[in-house]
């Protein structure tokens, strides 16, 4: 029943089948464009045998909700499970918008915007697929599409399949219309009566649907032209013939036109699979469809080796490729053209049809050569932005004007020339095109305390490298998840204890400690403040090692605690070291609170090795501030609670996790310190929003890892750039660099600010400035600006 053929014969048959034989649907499309709703009612009567005159084309919202409420709970749970997996997988596909500065100095942007309104087509007929609702609507929602509508054919009674309706509600489809085939596609492409016009149509369908998609393409976006479904299974003698046969049958039951092909490296496997098909077929309810599919479009192809099988699969570029050979992962890595690759004995194609997470809307009939599966990216459009400065326009226009003239477009040339000559006449810094407002704001901004407000006003044009923030905002998809979750929370209630506990647990597993050692804070700044408030009655001073994080001194002064300083001293080969004798003395005082910033802000030094032993058994209270821990990996958390029980570690989500704006940090301490902290902790110090964001961010360690990797790579790049400029910098342990400069740091900061770059200067170290590692374009802008500043100060 399943034909045997050689690789050449299989490829020949495939080539012959590839040209889509599609019916002519021009008449249907024109009818819908002309008559709107009335045409849809006529088409439903003609093709679906349904009378929609009384009930209309649109499914009432109440009917959708009723379908959801009445649906089998177990089935709904299964759909929800599938939707969760699909959402997780597709969230990882959402790309990042970015901005950069071109080598000519123009600001260039690539902004990903979701498509506004998407129409999904869900086939009805003999096999209604709620899984298709999941596979189309969920990725659209992940991408941020505002409105998803759906067309699906009605049954003879006019009703739409109830499970499809329930899935639509679950996946965020806002409106559903009783329309099938080419008419549905035309209605969504052009708008028809109550069916609104959409910007893109996605989803599989029969030959009429595909023909209509081809016809309307251009007037509306479409995902792909779907042909019949297909699987190509590569198997060797290690494969279980019963499973191979079951998988071929599973594919063939879709449709008489579906194609199920075994490429076998073993003659005996091929024989046994054939026998298995014969014995399994009578057990299947759709055996007539399966028999027709296997005999017309199925094949068993024998090849000599796994390599030959892979080469044939790559030529065929099938929709589904299943690998059932001895070392399946290795074979899978050689597949270069396929919709989805299913690896190993435990991975049949149907698990991908429903549940695995990747999309089941896949390129068929060899189109995997030029596109992949439906993805979140199908619902996003990049918008390019270009913003020239006067100087960059001058640089770029010289060549652009030549090209415009060569193309005979003197209007183009004139539009650039008029501006270029205005810039030249105005002189480099008196540019008429430069934002006068930005310049005056920057001039006012010179005093350090005013920088903050200026950043807020002009942040779009300033490279902000002064606060050790992450240059990477969290991905839009994660933001969307946070927003989705927060909107479900009651805003009239205080943050709930379970949520606080969840976040404490997540922090605990992040830090690899027990949850009862964790105290939450609105940023680690608040933890520092809580510590001083809690310990004020028990200590008589605070010890710090400047230059260090300025907040320690500020809070100590604010709560009336005297500050004792043990200044760091610069070593002969660069790097700042601790005066160990003085520190050991302080650690022996039981009425001191000692702050150790490790790695140290702003110098970048790491003290772990030298202090581990003395900190662990200190009699003083000790806070080790590990705000930048992720950028070096070192920690003293293993010493908590320590021999004295007086050690505490602080961490934050503001840096590596990129959540500075949401204020979340935590302390890890032993029972005594934890109890003291809890005694001053305000009830509900972390807002519901911060807690939700923290919980979501902590569940995505992959994002933190990739952000940290990018920052480390950029840190090396900035360090090399500084060395090229002849400047020395401190140790590479955090997301900033401490740079020694030839003139006072404040002067460098001021001159950089004139070039729209913000860095930090340090009161306790006037010959240095501190620069945060930014995004690649920010670092390049900083290095270029610094080069120009150094030239200026050297000339002087
Ligand atoms: N500790 C150090 C060493 C810091 O540099 C900072 C912020 N710059 C903080 C703590 C405060 O971080 P958070 O945003 O968690 O309050």
Mean pLDDT over residues 100-117, rounded?
A: 91
Would residue 320 show up in a list of annotated catalytic residues for this protein?
A: yes
Tell whether the torsion through CA atoms of 604, 608, 610 and 616 is positive or negative.
Answer: positive
Kindly give the distance from the C-alpha atom of residue 624 to the centroid of ligand 1, in angstroms, as a whole number: 12
Tell me if residue 445 falls in helix, strand or coil.
coil
Mean pLDDT over residues 639-660, rounded?
A: 92
Q: What's the first-to-final CA gap in the chain, in angstroms?
A: 90
* Model pTM above 0.75: no
DSSP 23-46: ---HHHHHHHHHHTHHHHHHHIII
The residues facing 387 across adjacent strands are 107
Mean pLDDT over residues 697-711, rounded?
A: 92
Mean pLDDT over residues 387-396, rounded?
A: 84
Mean pLDDT over residues 704-720, rounded?
A: 94
Structure tokens at 528: 């520092």
Which tens digit of pLDDT belongs to each residue from 343-386? 999 999 999 999 999 999 999 989 999 999 999 999 999 999 99
Kindly give the distance from the C-alpha atom of residue 735 to the centroid of ligand 1, in angstroms, as a whole number: 12
More confident residue, 690 or 416: 690
pLDDT, residue 473, reads: 84
Instruction: Report how far residue 698's alpha carbon sits from residue 747's, in angstroms, rounded to the nearest whole number.
Output: 40
Highest mean pLDDT among 435-444, 678-687, 702-711: 678-687
Query: Which burial class, exposed, middle or buried, applies to 736 when counting CB atoms under 10 A from its CB (0-12, 13-18, 19+)?
Result: buried
Instruction: Report how far residue 322's alpha carbon sits from residue 504's, in angstroms, rounded to the nearest whole number.
Output: 43
Kindly give the distance from the C-alpha atom of residue 647 to the centroid of ligand 1, in angstroms, as a whole number: 18
**Residue 12: partners with Cβ closer than 8 Å, 6 or more residues away:** none
Instruction: Report how far residue 84's alpha carbon sits from residue 142's, in angstroms, rounded to the nearest whole number.
Output: 11
pLDDT, residue 21, reads: 74
Instruction: Report how far residue 742's alpha carbon sits from residue 144's, in angstroms, rounded to the nearest whole number.
Output: 50
pLDDT, residue 795, reads: 67
Instruction: Report how far residue 575's alpha carbon sits from residue 129's, in angstroms, rounded to the nearest whole number.
Output: 65
Decide if pLDDT at 19 tops 80. no
Decide if pLDDT at 234 tops 50. yes
DSSP H stretches of helix in 344-427: 349-354, 390-406, 410-426
Contact 532, 521 (CB under 8 A): no
pLDDT, residue 426, reads: 64
Instruction: Report how far residue 743's alpha carbon sits from residue 725's, in angstroms, rounded to the nearest whole number.
Output: 14
Kindly give the distance from the C-alpha atom of residue 554 to the centroid of ligand 1, in angstroms, as a whole number: 13
**Residue 475: partners with Cβ closer than 8 Å, 6 or more residues away:** 91, 94, 96, 703
pLDDT, residue 417, reads: 85
- CA-467 nearest atom, ligand 1: 8
Nearest to 626 by CA among 594, 595, 651, 655: 651
Kindly give the distance from the C-alpha atom of residue 732 to the centroid of ligand 1, in angstroms, as a whole number: 18
Kindly give the distance from the C-alpha atom of residue 325 to the centroid of ligand 1, in angstroms, as a whole number: 53
Kindly give the distance from the C-alpha atom of residue 525 to the centroid of ligand 1, in angstroms, as a whole number: 6
Structure tokens at 516: 């009862």
Q: How far is CA 34 from CA 254, 262, 411, in A?
A: 35, 48, 42
Phi-psi region of 600 (alpha: psi -120 to 50; beta: other; left: phi over 0): beta
Contact 261, 293 (CB under 8 A): no
Which tens digit of pLDDT belongs to each residue from 595-622? 999 999 999 999 999 999 999 999 999 9
pLDDT, residue 457, reads: 34
Instruction: Report how far residue 207's alpha carbon sits from residue 703's, in angstroms, rounded to the nearest whole number.
Output: 42
pLDDT, residue 337, reads: 97
Cα atoms in the 13 Å half-sphere on the side-chain side of 735: 27
For a substitution probing ligand 1, which of 601, 651, 697 has the most ligand atoms within 8 Å of its CB? 601
Range with lowest mean pLDDT among 164-178, 526-540, 774-788: 774-788
Kindly give the distance from the C-alpha atom of residue 632 to the centroid of ligand 1, in angstroms, as a whole number: 16
Crossing angle for the helix pair 181-190 and 207-216, nearest 10 degrees?
20
Nearest to 168 by CA among 251, 66, 290: 66
Mean pLDDT over residues 437-448, rounded?
A: 35
pLDDT, residue 460, reads: 40
Q: Which residue lies with its CA nearest to atom 12 of ligand 1?
A: 524
Kindly give the distance from the C-alpha atom of residue 529 to the centroid of ligand 1, in angstroms, as a whole number: 12
The torsion angle over the Cα atoms of residues 72, 75, 80 and 81, rounded to 10 degrees, is: 150
Instruction: Report how far residue 358's alpha carbon sits from residue 513's, in angstroms, rounded to the nearest whole number.
Output: 35
pLDDT, residue 574, reads: 84
Would residue 639 show up in a list of annotated catalytic residues for this protein?
A: no
Instruction: Report how far residue 728's alpha carbon sits from residue 9's, in angstroms, rounded to the nearest whole number.
Output: 68
Which tens digit of pLDDT belongs to each residue from 555-611? 999 999 999 999 999 998 889 999 999 999 999 999 999 999 999 999 999 999 999
Strand 569-570 and strand 576-577: the pairing is: antiparallel
Taking all residues of the chain, what is their mean pLDDT, rounded to a whole number? 92
> What's the length of the chain?
796
- CA-526 nearest atom, ligand 1: 16
Nearest to 766 by CA among 785, 790, 749: 749
Query: Which burial class, exposed, middle or buried, applies to 549 when counting CB atoms under 10 A from its CB (0-12, 13-18, 19+)?
Result: buried
Kindly give the distance from the C-alpha atom of residue 98 to the centroid of ligand 1, in angstroms, as a whole number: 26
Given 90, 254, 320, 360, the catalytic residue: 320
Neighbours of 409 (CB within 10 A): 12
Within 6 Å (CB) of ligand 1, which residues are found? 468, 523-525, 549, 597, 601, 625, 627, 652, 654, 660, 665
For a substitution probing ligand 1, which of 467, 469, 507, 523 has the most ligand atoms within 8 Å of its CB? 523
Given 319, 586, 630, 756, the catalytic residue: 319
pLDDT, residue 695, reads: 97
Q: Which residue lies with its CA nearest to atom 4 of ligand 1?
A: 627
Peptide bond into 602 cis (omega under 30): yes
- CA-600 nearest atom, ligand 1: 3
Tell whether the torsion through CA atoms of 170, 175, 179 and 180 is positive or negative.
Answer: negative
């Amino acid at each position: 029943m399943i034909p045997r053929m050689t690789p050449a014969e299989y490829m020949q048959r495939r080539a012959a089948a590839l040209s889509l034989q599609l019916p002519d649907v021009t008449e249907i499309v024109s009818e819908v464009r002309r008559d709107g709703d009335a045409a849809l009612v006529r088409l439903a009567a003609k093709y679906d045998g349904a009378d929609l005159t009384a009930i209309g084309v649109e499914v009432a919202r109440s009917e959708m909700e009723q379908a959801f409420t009445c649906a089998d709970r177990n089935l709904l749970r299964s759909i929800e499970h599938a939707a969760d997996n699909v959402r997780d997988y597709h969230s990882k596909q959402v790309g990042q918008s970015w901005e950069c500065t071109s080598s000519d100095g123009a600001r260039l942007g690539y902004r990903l915007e979701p498509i506004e309104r998407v129409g999904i087509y869900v086939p009805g007929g003999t096999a209604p697929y709620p899984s298709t609702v999941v596979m189309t609507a969920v990725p659209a929602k992940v991408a941020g599409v505002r409105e998803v509508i759906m067309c699906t054919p009605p049954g003879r009674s006019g009703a739409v399949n109830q499970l499809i309706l329930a899935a639509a509600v679950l996946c965020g489809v806002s409106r559903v219309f009783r329309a099938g085939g080419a008419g549905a596609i035309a209605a969504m492409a052009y708008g028809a009566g109550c069916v609104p016009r959409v910007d893109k149509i996605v989803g599989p369908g029969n030959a009429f649907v595909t023909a209509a998609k081809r016809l309307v393409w251009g007037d509306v976006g479409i995902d792909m032209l779907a042909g019949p479904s297909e699987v190509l299974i590569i198997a060797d003698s290690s494969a279980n013939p019963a499973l191979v046969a079951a998988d071929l049958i599973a594919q063939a039951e879709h449709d008489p036109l579906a194609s199920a092909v075994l490429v076998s490296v073993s003659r005996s496997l091929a024989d046994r699979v054939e026998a298995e098909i014969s014995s399994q077929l009578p057990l299947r309810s759709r055996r007539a469809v399966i028999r027709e599919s296997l005999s017309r479009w199925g094949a068993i192809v024998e090849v000599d080796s796994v390599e030959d099988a892979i080469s044939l699969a790559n030529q065929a570029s099938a929709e589904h490729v299943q690998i059932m050979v001895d070392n399946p992962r290795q074979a899978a890595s050689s597949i270069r053209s396929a919709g989805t690759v299913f690896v190993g004995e435990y991975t049949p194609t149907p698990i991908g049809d429903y549940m695995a997470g990747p999309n089941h809307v896949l390129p068929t009939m060899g189109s995997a050569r030029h596109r992949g599966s439906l993805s979140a990216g199908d619902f996003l459009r990049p918008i390019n932005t270009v913003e020239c400065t006067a100087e960059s326009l001058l640089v770029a226009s010289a060549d652009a004007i030549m090209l415009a003239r060569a193309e005979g477009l003197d209007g183009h040339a004139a539009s650039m020339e008029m501006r270029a000559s205005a810039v030249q006449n105005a002189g480099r810094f008196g540019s008429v095109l430069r934002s006068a407002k930005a310049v005056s704001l920057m001039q006012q901004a010179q005093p350090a305390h005013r920088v903050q407000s200026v950043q807020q006003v002009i942040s779009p044009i300033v490279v902000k490298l002064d606060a050790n923030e992450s240059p990477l905002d969290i991905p839009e998809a994660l933001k969307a998840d946070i927003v989705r979750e927060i909107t479900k929370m009651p805003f009239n209630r205080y943050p709930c204890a379970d949520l606080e506990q969840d976040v404490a647990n997540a922090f605990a597993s992040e830090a690899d400690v027990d949850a009862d050692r964790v105290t939450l804070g609105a940023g680690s700044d608040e933890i520092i403040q809580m510590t001083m408030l809690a310990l004020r009655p028990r200590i008589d001073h605070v010890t710090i090692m400047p230059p260090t994080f300025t907040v320690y001194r500020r809070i100590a002064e604010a709560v009336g605690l005297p500050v004792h300083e043990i200044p760091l001293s610069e070593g002969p080969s660069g790097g700042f070291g601790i005066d160990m004798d003085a520190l050991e003395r302080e650690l022996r005082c039981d009425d001191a609170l000692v702050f150790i910033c490790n790695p140290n802000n702003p110098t970048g030094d790491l003290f772990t090795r030298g202090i581990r032993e003395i900190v662990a058994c200190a009699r003083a209270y000790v806070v080790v501030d590990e705000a930048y821990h992720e950028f070096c990996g070192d920690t003293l958390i293993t010493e908590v609670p320590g021999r004295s029980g007086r050690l505490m570690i602080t961490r934050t989500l503001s840096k590596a996790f990129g959540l500075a704006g949401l204020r979340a940090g935590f302390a890890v301490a032993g029972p005594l310190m934890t109890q003291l902290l809890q005694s001053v902790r305000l009830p509900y110090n972390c807002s519901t929003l911060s807690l939700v964001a923290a919980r979501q961010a902590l569940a995505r360690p992959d994002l933190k890892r990739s952000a940290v990797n990018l920052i480390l790579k950029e840190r090396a790049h900035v360090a090399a750039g500084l060395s090229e400029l002849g400047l020395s910098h401190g140790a590479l342990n955090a997301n900033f660099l401490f740079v020694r400069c030839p003139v006072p740091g404040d002067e460098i900061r001021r001159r950089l600010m004139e070039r729209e770059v913000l860095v930090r200067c340090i009161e306790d170290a006037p010959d240095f400035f501190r620069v945060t590692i930014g995004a690649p374009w920010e670092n390049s802008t900083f290095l270029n600006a610094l080069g120009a500043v150094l030239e200026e100060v050297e000339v002087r």
